Structure 1
């Protein structure tokens, strides 16, 4: 994006957040009014809310006469995209190994494996072979569908907001502020909707917030280092894919598993905090535009 003054960036941030709030509020209200949306409704409303930041970015650029072509659409160096894909796989694997080894959750959920294998026509495969094959197929084919939703958010959060914030302040504050905004944006559906895994609202909210803010240090580092919004898309898509579509469903409940698994349990936030510290320690590698 064309270099801007601090005052111009502050104005751009304010306008973007206003548009994001107004557009998201419409989807929040419709989603909450619908109640239990089911698979089809959940997918439609999910796409709707995740593309609000992108639409807000477009409107902000139009109102302020900014070039949307300057949102760092270039793919950038492949190694950053590869690592953006792998980092969520790594922290998700660490998270669920801890959960399985401690007995906070069990490996593997036989009902899920049996049902999914049947749907795919792979019922004749041994469970271990199916799990490995399912992991690979989800990680390759499933990535494209996950990227289609992640792109909507990332055009806004990392494509627009992060570079504007970085023009105003440091990497640390950019990651922290964008992370808080990103987390709070989820609150309406987390508190009043069914976007949780069954734990008390205060507990899920706390775990989710710590996780999102921590992840923002990773997301912001990759975005600023690569100068490509696609690292954010890759990180976001990989995280959603492996946490929500593989590791969580393949884990069976041992009693209080909901308090430890997924984005609303305690283990993932603890692991992502460590990753946040690691990338924060490499902040000097980033150069101001």
Structure 2
């Protein structure tokens, strides 16, 4: 086999290049100790490292970039890609608020939103509703721009390549572990966590991204479009990081339950992953 035809060699090339490019941005982020160090440029570079690696690997193996499933595909898969993270994150935060692990809402955050919108005189409920509507719509544009960099690499390039030789289950497990470990340096040595012990935060986060790998890969392979993975990733980041987490009034125990480093959202993600894993027979055969 030539290098172009051998998926295993292609996978190794992609992973080595991804590690090399990512390491540059790891160094910057760890130096500042902040995930948003460099006014967010460092984390943006890190999130686009898999895409750059996919482009370089495609050039090395002489494969056209157009081969990475850029087509939009059926609209129903794109719609569900937007809705699935909304549904499991909303369910998770309703549990957290109802049980009392956190409270809805944080007056300081909502007050800041009202001030930034110039709507201080409006009832807080209206301010919250407007914030959610605007973020759920226009906020997706910014979220897609950052998620796209990762998903071009992970689900646009790596998942289809691994699927050729490993099938759905192994592909999801391995790419999920790679995805989790790729985040580990900034979780351990920067502020990419919610304040829990590193072992706890990484355990919850790993559960979330490994189960998420089953979800993203299922939609990517079923639809034949990498945009499903982009929308899943962008919707997940938006609703958890920009809406539900900042809206939550926290206590000392909240950090163990909410966000990506608490236990509630990962459990719900696992349930969605199990459901889709049981539907793996619907996926097209590897080409």
TM-score of the aligned structures, taking structure 2 as reference length: 0.96
Q: Does 1:159 align with 2:159?
A: no
Distance (whole Å) between structure 1 residues aligned to residue 39 and residue 257 of structure 2: 24
Q: Give 1:125 shift.
A: 1.8
Name the counterpart of 1:58. 55
CA deviations on 1:47-69 (whole Å, 9 max, x unpaired) are 11000000000110111111111
Q: Give 1:129 shift.
A: 1.5
Q: Does 1:189 align with 2:189?
A: no
Distance (whole Å) between structure 2 residues aligned to residue 253 and residue 132 of structure 1: 20
Aligned residues between the structures: 285
Name the counterpart of 1:46. 43
Distance (whole Å) between structure 1 residues aligned to residue 85 and residue 182 of structure 2: 21
Distance (whole Å) between structure 2 residues aligned to residue 91 and residue 210 of structure 1: 14
CA deviations on 1:65-117 (whole Å, 9 max, x unpaired) are 11111000001111100100000000000100110011001110011001111
Q: How does 1:250-261 map to 2 (within 5 A)?
A: 250-261=247-258
CA deviations on 1:226-264 (whole Å, 9 max, x unpaired) are 000000110000000010000000001133101101000
**Relative to structure 1, is the Cα distance of residues 61 and 7 closer, same or farther in structure 2, using a 3 angstrom cutoff?**
closer
Further displaced range: 24-33 or 157-166: 24-33
Distance (whole Å) between structure 1 residues aligned to residue 34 and residue 179 of structure 2: 24
Q: Does 1:276 align with 2:273?
A: yes
Distance (whole Å) between structure 2 residues aligned to residue 201 and residue 158 of structure 1: 27
Name the counterpart of 1:32. 30
Name the counterpart of 2:88. 91
The secondary structure found in structure 1 opposite 2:81 is helix
Further displaced range: 217-226 or 123-132: 123-132
**Relative to structure 1, is the Cα distance of residues 221 and 102 closer, same or farther in structure 2, using a 3 angstrom cutoff?**
same
Q: Is the 8 A contact 1:147 1:234 kept in 2?
A: yes
Name the counterpart of 2:232. 235
Q: Does 1:71 align with 2:68?
A: yes
Q: Is the 8 A contact 2:110 2:128 kept in 1?
A: yes
Name the counterpart of 1:204. 201
Name the counterpart of 2:102. 105
**Relative to structure 1, is the Cα distance of residues 282 and 42 closer, same or farther in structure 2, using a 3 angstrom cutoff?**
farther
CA deviations on 1:170-207 (whole Å, 9 max, x unpaired) are 11111111111111100000011111111111110000
Q: Is the 8 A contact 1:219 1:231 kept in 2?
A: yes
Q: Does 1:15 align with 2:10?
A: no
Distance (whole Å) between structure 1 residues aligned to residue 129 and residue 162 of structure 2: 41
TM-score of the aligned structures, taking structure 1 as reference length: 0.96
Distance (whole Å) between structure 2 residues aligned to residue 96 and residue 122 of structure 1: 26
CA deviations on 1:97-146 (whole Å, 9 max, x unpaired) are 11001100111001100111111112222111211111110000000000
Q: Does 1:169 align with 2:166?
A: yes
Q: CA RMSD in A?
A: 1.5
